[in-house]
Copies of this chain bind each other. A is one copy, B any other.
Amino acid sequence: MNLLKQSVTQSGFSSFLGAEPVKSSPGEIELIIPLKEELTQHHGFAHGAVVGAAADNACAWAAASVAGDVVTSSYTLQLLAPAIGNRLRAHGKVIKKSKRQVSVHANVFAEDETNSKLVATALASIAIVEKDS
């Protein structure tokens, strides 16, 4: 968790996003992104790219929890509902760790004090960064 927080503070965009891991176990991660005005679109919802960033981060962090240094190779994002609320919660779970790739599934929820709604789902392929390459 400390390493994850360090990574967040080092990154300009992640720092701007303010993504914060709230649960972590090998192969699984949960993070929260508090929604502020700069992360919304003109209808007041979280912007699709912000929802995508939540999903991507959850996938990359879940992969990192079993494979160390990683970088996102590709992901497919389905936007299922408008992301209305005061925070995003993203849950990433490793499906399979192969030799060079980790396959990860993530769900993103928009939440306020009383409700939590599934707003996006994603499937990612996260590349394992090789030491000697």
Residues on B with beta carbons closer than 8 Å to the beta carbon of A22: none
Residues on B with beta carbons closer than 8 Å to the beta carbon of A131: none
Number of copies of this chain that the complex holds: 4
Chain A residues bordering chain B, tally (CB within 8 A): 47
Q: Is A38 an interface residue (CB 8 A)?
A: yes
Interface of A is mostly: mixed
CB distance from A60 to the nearest CB of B (A): 8
Q: List 18 A-B contacts (CB under 8 A).
A: A7-B42, A11-B41, A11-B47, A12-B37, A13-B47, A13-B49, A16-B16, A47-B53, A49-B50, A52-B52, A52-B77, A74-B76, A74-B77, A74-B78, A78-B125, A100-B100, A123-B123, A125-B125
